[in-house]
Amino acid sequence: DVKVTQSSRYLVKRTGEKVFLECVQDMDHENMFWYRQDPGLGLRLIYFSYDVKMKEKGDIPEGYSVSREKKERFSLILESASTNQTSMYLCASRRVGSPLHFGNGTRLTVT
């Protein structure tokens, strides 16, 4: 079974803090993704990576950056957290053409 692990289920941070969300997959997948999910807006892509050190912006990259130094790990960074970044963050991975697999999500609250 594919396993996508997100380091935290719940996270509370203060405005202006730098926040790191970590995601690890165990299936040697080339593609990894970060989405955020908000009520009424659905899932929106923040960034994705198609290989180590390679990344592409999604629909809403502003205020975020990513890092993929190793194939199994994809990190999302909130450079200076703001209250409008309070959301559920979902990491996913897949081999090209195969099903997308998600982690359990990180619910981030920025106060």
Which residues lie near other proteins (CB under 8 A)? 4, 6, 31, 33, 40-43, 45, 48, 50, 56, 58, 90, 92, 96-105, 107
- Give min distance, CB of 16 to other proteins, in A: 27
Query: For residues 107 and 88, is the Cβ–Cβ distance under 8 A?
Result: yes
Rounded to whole angstroms, the Cα distance separating 11 from 68 reads 21
- Give min distance, CB of 52 to other proteins, in A: 15
Instruction: Show Cβ contacts of residue 51 under 8 Å, excluding neighbours closer than 6 positions.
Output: 30, 68, 71
Q: By C-beta, is 77 or 88 nearer to other proteins?
A: 88
- Give min distance, CB of 101 to other proteins, in A: 6
Q: By C-beta, is 85 or 94 nearer to other proteins?
A: 94
Q: Tell me, what amino acid is at 45?
A: L
**What Rg, from alpha-carbon coordinates, does the chain have?**
13
Q: Per DSSP, what are the bridge partners of residue 100?
A: none
- Give min distance, CB of 62 to other proteins, in A: 17
